[in-house]
């Protein structure tokens, strides 16, 4: 699997160096050039991870982080010249996954990226596919397929479906699903689980899988 990384860095020299570094490590890399439309480029590109500077033209890196977090759970690595504790704290509070100061060691940056990708996409281990009642859950690409139609999943959506597929036909208590996500470092509560399942159902309906996930009153979910 080739991971896509979006570079949000206003220094053209550093941006070009990052593209070369990432391409050499086997990643696809794209750089933002119009910072007023960075969120739009993120949606269009669909990266697996973002390298994000704090001091950017316009609203800045923290504002963009919040915009990305509103639509995606892709890992965000702040790569910045700032070394203040407050900036690092803000990056964590806004949903950043790592904070690396410039000048950075390229090997350490690549190691951090690889570790975050492994954690965010733990099922991407050679393209395993789980199947149930005409649906195929592609772990490597984080997609679900039905009759030739596919839809992308977030990491939480993938893990929820992974758990349901692994227990296909059985009733999966909500508490068990939450415990499974917690053990995999995906922090989610009961209300958030309902929201994620609702979003999954919308995506499933879009590829012809209406009613694929059934709710068992006071028991949980089942495929």
Can you give the pLDDT at residue 6?
96
Q: What percent of the chain has pLDDT over 70?
A: 94
Tens-place pLDDT, residues 105-136: 999 999 999 888 887 776 554 567 888 988 99
So what's the pLDDT on residue 51? Answer: 96
Mean pLDDT of 23-32: 92
Q: Per-residue pLDDT tens for 79-98? A: 988 778 888 888 888 889 99
Would you state the pLDDT for residue 32? 94
Domains of the chain: 4-120 (3.40.50.2300), 129-222 (1.10.10.10)
* Neighbour-count burial of 67, counting CB atoms closer than 10 A to its CB (0-12 exposed, 13-18 middle, 19+ buried): middle
- The gap from C-alpha 95 to its chain's centroid, in whole angstroms, comes to 12
Dihedral sign computed on CA atoms, order 197, 202, 205, 211? positive
Beta carbons within 8 Å of 81's beta carbon, 6+ residues apart? 55, 101, 102
- Residue 4 pairs in a beta bridge with 28
3-class DSSP state of 132? strand
End-to-end CA separation in angstroms for the chain = 28
Least confident of 5-14, 17-26, 185-194: 185-194
Q: Are 97 and 77 in contact (CB under 8 A)?
A: yes
Tokens for 107, please give them. Answer: 């090997």
Residue with tokens 């010249």, as numbered in its chain: 81
Q: Above 90 in pLDDT, residue 140? A: no
CB 4 within 8 A of CB 46: yes
Q: Where are the alpha helices (DSSP H) in 79-216?
A: 85-93, 106-120, 155-166, 174-183, 190-206
Residue range 162-201, pLDDT digits in tens: 999 999 989 999 999 988 887 655 667 778 899 999 999 9
How far, in whole angstroms, is CA 14 from its chain's centroid? 24
Average pLDDT over residues 8-16: 94
pTM over cut 0.75: no
Q: What is the pLDDT of residue 163?
A: 93
Q: 201, 213 in Cβ contact below 8 A? A: yes
């Amino acid at each position: 699997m080739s991971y896509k990384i979006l570079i949000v860095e206003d220094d053209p020299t550093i941006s070009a160096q990052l593209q070369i570094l990432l391409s050499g490590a086997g990643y696809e890399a794209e750089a933002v050039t119009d910072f007023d439309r960075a969120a739009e480029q993120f949606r269009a590109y669909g990266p697996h991870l973002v390298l994000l500077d704090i001091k950017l033209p316009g609203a800045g890196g923290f504002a963009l982080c919040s915009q990305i977090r509103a639509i995606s759970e892709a890992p965000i690595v702040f790569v910045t010249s700032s070394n203040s504790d407050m900036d690092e704290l803000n990056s964590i509070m806004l949903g950043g996954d790592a904070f690396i100061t410039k000048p950075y060691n390229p090997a350490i940056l690549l190691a951090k990226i690889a570790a975050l990708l492994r954690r965010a996409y733990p099922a991407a281990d050679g393209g395993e596919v789980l199947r149930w009642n005409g649906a195929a859950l592609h772990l490597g690409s984080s997609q679900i397929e039905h009759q030739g139609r596919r839809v992308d999943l977030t990491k939480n959506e993938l893990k929820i479906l992974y758990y349901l597929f692994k227990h296909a036909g059985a009733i999966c208590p909500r508490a068990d699903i939450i415990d499974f996500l917690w053990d995999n470092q995906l922090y989610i509560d009961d209300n958030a689980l309902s929201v994620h399942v609702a979003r999954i159902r919308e995506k499933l309906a879009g590829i012809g899988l209406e009613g694929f996930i059934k709710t068992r009153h006071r028991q949980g979910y089942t495929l």
